[in-house]
Amino acid sequence: MKKEDCIFCKIANGEIPSKTLYEDGDFRVILDLGPATKGHALILPKEHAADLFELSEETASKVLVVARRVAARMAEKLHCDGMNLVQNNGKAAGQTVPHFHLHMIPRYQDDGQQINWVPGECTQEELETVRREIVG
């Protein structure tokens, strides 16, 4: 179901013009207006879900199929050296629009982007404690 006050719903459903790279019955893939690199795109489901936690399993199962299809075309046409797929959930994780979307960021050698994190350290015991918390 589309949410009337959601800008990504309006873009995904063609109510607001965009630079569309791909479209099918479930998704629209558009170029990002503030690209991290040349070809930076967003995969937008046409049905509203605020984030991964609200996304239906059916839509979730299709999003990587679309990403793979579009990424292959980007690699062929843009000659990128790699690809980041970035998906943020919640303000603390950097989500700025409350509509699930997957960033596709073509990477080029020495493009100057830093899409990384600082690896932490933990013991096997700490890992086991967290594992138990998650699985019960």
Three-state secondary-structure class, residue 62: helix
Number of residues that this document lists for the chain: 136
3-class DSSP state of 23: strand
Q: Tokens for 72?
A: 């292959």
End-to-end CA distance of the chain: 34
Q: Please name every residue paired with 42 in a beta bridge, in sequence order, or none if there are none.
A: 30, 103
Residues labelled as active-site residues: 101
